[in-house]
Structure 1
Amino acid sequence: MEPDPRFTLANERTFLTWLSTALALSAGGVAMAAVPPDVFVPWIRTGLAIMLVTLSALAAGMAYPRWRNIQRALRKQAPLPPPALAAVFGYGVAAVAVIALVLIILSI
């Protein structure tokens, strides 16, 4: 059975939002890697950049499988799958933000 087109389009918008999030995380990682060496400790700066780009790869890599699983559930009128990586992204971005905040405060 075909799901209501509104649900299909909402699922597609969510997919595109995951891709936008991946692009923003990737840009943040590149920006963190481009920070001058005298601003943050180099190994911490590199670690933050790696965390951001890794989160970006996860978001981009999991966007389509999530879209597909939700679309399948909509067609079968089954329960929607839980957002498996929500905690990873929430805690990952929070960790990067807290570490960057500490580094900013310490550099003042």
Structure 2
Amino acid sequence: MSTSRFPRHVYDRGEEPDARFTLANERTFLAWIRTSLALLAGGVALEALGLGMHPGFRHAASILLIVAGLLTPVQAWLGWMRTERSLRESTPLAPPWIAIPLAVVVVATGVLVLLGVLLA
């Protein structure tokens, strides 16, 4: 157990897990980061391109995507820490806290875009 690793409150617990599980946890972290980048890019593109949509719906959809894109890295970091601790302590893995809210945001964004196109 090394105390020089960051974050210390994760690495000071339990035993070192199999490297395959740690690497899988890191890949999941990176997947959440890619999701965040996609949400941010979608929100910026939607607002920048306009796409002949009703401006109010377009703006609301853009804001939803950008806010979701800003919150997703928080999930990435907290999820990585919780999973690493669970692996080290051999406890059950916790589900991602943002999964359901993110699904709701994606559906709401889709509805806003649909309305924005239909009412333009």
| Residue 93 (structure 2) aligns with | 80
Partner Cα distance (2:114, 2:29) in 1: 30
Q: What TM-score do the two structures reach when normalised by structure 1? A: 0.89
| Residue 103 (structure 2) aligns with | 90
| Residue 48 (structure 1) aligns with | 61
| Residue 61 (structure 1) aligns with | 74
1:24-43 matches, cutoff 5 A: 24-36=38-50, 39-43=52-56
Partner Cα distance (2:70, 2:49) in 1: 21
CA contact (8 A) 2:55 2:116 kept: no
| Residue 33 (structure 2) aligns with | 19
Instruction: Please provide the CA RMSD for this pair.
Output: 1.5
The structure with the larger Rg is 2
Q: What TM-score do the two structures reach when normalised by structure 2? A: 0.81
Partner Cα distance (1:99, 1:45) in 2: 7
Q: CA deviation at 1:22?
A: 0.2
Q: How many residues were matched structurally?
A: 106
Structure 2 unmatched ranges of 5 or more: 1-14
When structure 1 is superposed on structure 2, of 94-103 and 71-80 the one drifting more is: 94-103
Which aligned runs of 4 or more in structure 1 are off by greater than 3 angstroms?
none
One-letter code aligned to 2:19: P
> Sequence identity of aligned pairs in percent?
42
Q: CA deviation at 1:106?
A: 4.4
